[in-house]
């Protein structure tokens, strides 16, 4: 799938500061919300380590994420509606929220994977037969509607797409399991 156009990505310096406290190892991570794909006003990045980071008008932000494992990070709007999601891996240089990241986060079952495992899992998702349809669904809906509205159980279109991906994942797991 195509990456967001460079013009939509704000110029960001790489922040890879690692901080350590007695319980957690975290990293400052900058990134952006692709405002051409993600709608909503008063956007905020929500991380377990920094639950309230405002998104600048150009879509850029700085937040704090895990430096030791994969982490789900979210974007909410001023009404606390979920607008986008992404999986942050420990060594990623940039955290991007767009239709692609949201599609992959909706398919994620990886837990706290290593960087290599996480990269492999996220790349593998794009090879699924179900991926193009789920990605197209996200891309056509996220600008106008909250993720909360388009991914609920009463939305049969979304549930069918998600079930196709879940079944494909289960089939893949079954083929990799020892007898």
146 in a domain, yes or no?
yes
1 in a domain, yes or no?
no
159 in a domain, yes or no?
yes
Give 148: exposed, middle or buried? Use CB within 10 Å, 0-12, 13-18, 19+.
middle
24 in a domain, yes or no?
yes
The whole-chain average pLDDT of the chain stands at 87
CA–CA–CA angle 11, 100, 13 (5° rounding): 20
59, 7 Cβ separation under 8 angstroms? no
Q: Residue 125: CB partners within 8 Å, gap ≥ 6?
A: 103, 104, 107, 131
Give per-residue pLDDT as tens, 28-48.
999 999 999 999 999 999 999
Q: Residue 25: CB partners within 8 Å, gap ≥ 6?
A: 18, 19, 66, 67, 68
Q: Residue 94: CB partners within 8 Å, gap ≥ 6?
A: 12, 14, 29, 30, 31, 32
94 in a domain, yes or no?
yes
> What total number of domains does the chain contain?
1
At 174 the pLDDT is: 79
26 in a domain, yes or no?
yes
Q: Whole domain around residue 85: which residue ranges?
A: 6-176
Give per-residue pLDDT as tens, 137-176.
999 999 999 998 999 888 999 999 999 999 998 888 778 6
Can you give the pTM of this predicted structure? 0.85
């Amino acid at each position: 799938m195509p990456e967001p156009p460079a013009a939509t990505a704000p110029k960001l310096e790489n922040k890879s500061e690692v901080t350590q406290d007695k319980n957690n190892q975290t990293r400052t991570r900058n990134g952006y919300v692709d405002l051409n794909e993600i709608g909503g006003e008063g956007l905020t990045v929500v991380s377990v380590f920094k639950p309230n980071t405002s998104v600048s008008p150009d879509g850029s932000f700085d937040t704090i994420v895990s430096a030791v494992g994969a982490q789900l990070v979210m974007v909410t709007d001023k009404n606390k509606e979920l607008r986008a999601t992404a999986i942050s891996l420990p060594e990623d240089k940039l955290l991007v929220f767009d239709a692609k990241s949201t599609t992959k986060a909706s398919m994620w079952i990886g837990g706290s994977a290593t960087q290599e495992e996480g990269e492999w899992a996220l790349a593998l998702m794009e090879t699924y037969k179900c991926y193009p349809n789920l990605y197209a669904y996200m891309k056509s809906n996220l600008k106008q509607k909250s993720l909360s509205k388009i991914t609920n159980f009463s939305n049969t279109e979304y549930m069918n797409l998600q079930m196709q991906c879940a079944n494909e994942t289960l089939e893949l797991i079954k083929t990799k399991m020892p007898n």
